[in-house]
Structure 1
């Protein structure tokens, strides 16, 4: 693979950055809100699963009550 000089590298990087399609502000906000919603749903789901499993273990082994 041939080596490129620093000037050529910078030109190639600028050329590649020009090909990137950046999201709009609206798309970014919507994506951020979706991430927070999905993270919250996952947290509630795992909270419930953990609670159910803990109750099951306590029932089986007779611990804590």
Structure 2
């Protein structure tokens, strides 16, 4: 049995996580709050709003990555990236062949179900005297 003890989250980590969420919510609220101004420099203001929002998100993400949870999530992302590199992807011919086979099987099963439905409907109509 392979059990690893997870380090417990400290109060500072919880405070950082909550503050990161509050910072993101405040950044989004500020983004929409400053969009209410209808000036002639709206395109420039949009650039500043987007840059501000990206900056707030980066600060919140960097703060979140200093917690135990953030380090675990970052480690998981790096390990996932390594695993994706190990995947053997099918060639174009294999993909086309498999896709055509799936389409053919769906058509054949659909045809069989349609015929079964048609004969059952015919049988029920015959048995009830409607046909």
Give the TM-score band, short-chain normalised. 0.7 to 0.9
Q: Distance in 1 between matches of 2:126 and 2:74?
A: 70
Q: Distance in 2 between matches of 1:55 and 1:7?
A: 61
How many residue pairs match? The answer is 64
With normalisation by structure 2, the TM-score equals 0.45
Alignment partner of 1:23 is 2:90: yes
Could you tell me which of 35, 50, 54 is aligned with 2:117? 50
Structure 1, gaps ≥5 residues long: none
- Indicate the structure whose relative CO is greater, using CA pairs within 8 Å and at least 6 residues apart: 2
Decide which structure has the larger Cα Rg and report it.
Answer: 2
Offset, 1:10: 2.5
Offset, 1:9: 2.3
- SS of the residue 1:52 aligns to: helix
Runs of 4+ in 1 over 4 A off after TM superposition: none
Root mean square deviation of aligned Cα: 1.7
Structure 2, gaps ≥5 residues long: 7-67
